[in-house]
Every structure is written in C-alpha cells, then in structure tokens.
C-alpha cells in the first residue's frame, strides 16, 4: 500500500515538474521519471515477479537513497 501511495506522489511530482519545464532542468524531470520506473521494479520485487539477484530489502534501501537524493535536488531547484 505504501508503494502505491509513493507511486501516486511521484506521478504528481513528475507532472508538476513537467509543467514547470523549462524553469526546471530536464535532468530533474527525467530523474522523477526514473524514480517512478525504479519504484515499478520495486513493486514487482515485492510480489516476487523479478529476478532474485537483489533482495527486496536491498532494492528498497537503494530506492530510498535515490528518492532522498531526488527530494533534495527538487528542493534546491524549485
């Protein structure tokens, strides 16, 4: 459930950033899209629909680091 909520929030952030373009960098807009893609992969991992090279916990930790970086970048740029 939390992953779905995070997806909705990222979708909204991505849409808002696109509406602010070109006042925000294209790279920031792309990072929002990449975070959503990574979240989709993470949701697949939570249901067991992905390869087992990385555990769900490791994938979640990496995603959270990326998400925190995205949040800091957004705060600096917006």
Domain locations along the chain: 2-77
Mean pLDDT by 10 residues, the chain (78 residues): 92 96 96 96 77 79 96 96
pLDDT at 50: 57
* pTM of the complete model: 0.84
Annotate 12-34 with DSSP letters as a single string: HHHHHHHHHTTSS-HHHHHHHHH
Q: How far is CA 33 from CA 21, 59, 62, 67, in A?
A: 14, 17, 16, 11
pLDDT at 18: 96
């Amino acid at each position: 459930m939390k992953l779905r909520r995070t997806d909705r929030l990222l979708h909204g952030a991505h849409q808002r950033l696109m509406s602010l373009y070109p006042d925000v960098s294209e790279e920031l807009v792309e990072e929002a899209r990449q975070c959503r893609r990574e979240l989709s992969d993470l949701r697949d991992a939570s249901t067991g629909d992905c390869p087992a090279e990385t555990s769900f916990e490791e994938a979640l930790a990496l995603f959270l680091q990326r998400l925190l970086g995205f949040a800091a970048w957004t705060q600096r740029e917006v």
